[in-house]
Structure 1
Amino acid sequence: MTTTRDLLIVAMEAGSGAPVEQGDLSLALAGAEVIDLLSARAVTLDGDRLVPGHQPEPADQLLGGAAASLVREAPYETVGDWLWRRGRGLSAAYQAALEAEGQLVRQPRRGISFRAGQLVLVDSPARSRAADRLAADEPVLVSLVEAMGVRGERTEDSPDVTDDAVAAVLAAVNAAVVELASVRQRKAVENAAFDNIWRGAAG
């Protein structure tokens, strides 16, 4: 398993309480992919730019797709640009992959329904491993989880990441999630203003 998959499992566990925003999750998953690719030496970081290395053939098909989609011409792509480009719809892609592998199953709905049931995690070694990493306060996984707001904001007690490249990726994830929250808030204000105008005109 990869950090990316462990992150999705942890997010889905948390989703049974306060649901995780899919946009936040997709950005965090894209960041986790970079961290997995750094670990596999498939990419290095030059400042804030992703410089491709050798292209591995990982067992994880989605991570292989991530490696193949790296920009391979200078000046290369910034981490921030990667998060927004690669992150689009990424949570759905990983959920589909886990469902195809039997890691996620559709919970049947009661009564007659034409809609598919909710996706739930099955008991598996992968689920246990992700839970163990989180319980052990593994720094990278905890930092990604905190970026999504699953365990609250980062505090002085949060575990530190010692690898500079990984820390830079995590900082970019945090910045992207904050930017996305600002976009949501701006749209909410605009929608509320439009509703008020509509009500006034209708009244």
Structure 2
Amino acid sequence: MTTARDLLIVSLDVPSGRPVEQGDLSLALAGAELADLLALEAVALDDDRIVPGLVPATGDRLLDEAGAALVRQAPYESVEDWLWRRGNGLASAYAGAVEAEEHPGTSGLRRLFGRSGHPAPADSPGRRRAADRWASREPVLVGLAAALDIPEGAAEAPGGPADDAVLTVLAAVNGALTELEGVRQRRRIEDAAFDNVWRAP
């Protein structure tokens, strides 16, 4: 299991301060992948640029795909650009992978998103590992979850990983989430203004 898979499970099992949108989760999952690649020393950060190295086979299909997707030409890719590019649709990919393992034959998106309640947690090794990491307050997992306001109020809580590179990733995730929420807010305002035009006498 990887940090991204653990984060997906935590996002389902731990109450959050607000609904976790697929777009938000996708950005955080891309950050989780980058944190794992940093831990494997498959990448390093030069300021905010991702400098790839030798990426070992991890045994996890999605993390291996992340390693293969790294930009390998200077000036390389910024962490922020990685989050937006790699994060595109990433929540769907992880939902499908986790559901295929825990509930073979079901649709990950149908079970994990757009539903009124959570499915009963599967007693799987992956879910137990995620729960153990969460219970031990593993800093990277906790920091990424906090960006999603998991648990409620976590975004205002102090603390986090001590590693500068991981802190850079977490800061980029928080920045991207703020930017995405700004886009949503502008769309809501524009939609409301459009509705008002049609309601006007």
Unmatched tracts of structure 1, length 5 or more: 108-115
Displacement of 1:150: 2.0
SS of 2:144's equivalent in the other structure is helix
Instruction: Name the stretch that deviates more: 147-156 or 172-181.
Output: 147-156
Cα distance, 1:154–1:51 mapped onto 2, change above 3 Å: same
Which runs of no fewer than 5 residues in structure 2 stay unpaired?
113-118
Deviation at 1:98, TM superposition (A): 1.1
Q: Which residue of 1 aligns with 2:155?
A: 154
User: How many angstroms apart in 2 are the aligned matches of 1:106 and 1:9?
Assistant: 17
| Percent identity between the two aligned chains | 58
Instruction: Specify the alignment match of 1:131 in structure 2.
Output: 131
Residue 81, structure 1, aligned to residue 75, structure 2: no
AA in 1 matched with 2:57: E
54-63 or 73-82: which moved more?
54-63
Summarize deviations over 1:90-126 as a string: whole Å, max 9, x none.
000011111222267759xxxxxxxx96343411121
Task: Give, in angstroms, the shift of residue 19 of structure 1.
Answer: 3.1
Code of the residue aligned with 2:31 in structure 1: it is G
Report the Cα offset of residue 139 of structure 1: 1.2
Per-residue CA deviations over 1:9-65 (Å, capped at 9, x if unaligned) read 101213799531111100000000000111111111010000000021110000000
Matched, 1:145 2:145: yes
Give distance in 2, aligned partners of 1:44 and 1:176. Answer: 20
The aligned counterpart of 1:112 is none
Separation (CA, whole Å) in 2 of partners of 1:132 and 1:89: 27
> After superposition, where does 1:178-197 map in structure 2 within 5 Å?
178-197=178-197
Q: What does the per-residue CA deviation read over 1:103-161, in whole Å, with 9 as the maximum and x for residues that have no partner?
A: 67759xxxxxxxx96343411121122112212221111110110112224345x4331
**Aligned residues of 1:45 and 1:51 also touching (Cα < 8 A):** yes
CA distance, structure 1, for counterparts of residue 103 and residue 162 of structure 2? 32
CA contact (8 A) 2:18 2:149 kept: no
Please tell me the residue identity of whatever aligns with 1:154: A
| 1:22-61 equivalence runs, <5 A | 22-61=22-61
Highest RCO, 1 vs 2 (Cα 8 Å, sep ≥ 6): 2
**C-alpha distance in structure 2 between counterparts of 1:21 and 1:177, whole Å:** 10
Query: Which residue in the other structure is 1:20 paired with?
Result: 20
CA distance in 2, matches of 1:49, 1:104: 39
Helix, strand or coil at the partner of 1:45:
strand
Deviation at 1:199, TM superposition (A): 1.3
One-letter amino acid of the counterpart of residue 3, structure 2: T
Aligned-partner Cα distance in 2 for 1:165–1:22: 25
- CA RMSD, Structure 1 to Structure 2 (Å): 2.2
Structure 1 consecutive aligned stretches of length 4 or more whose deviation exceeds 2 Å: 14-19, 102-107, 116-121, 152-156
What is the 5 A alignment of 1:2-13?
Answer: 2-13=2-13
The count of corresponding residues between Structure 1 and Structure 2 is 192
Distance 2:106 2:78 in 1: 37
Change (3 A) 1:171 1:17: closer
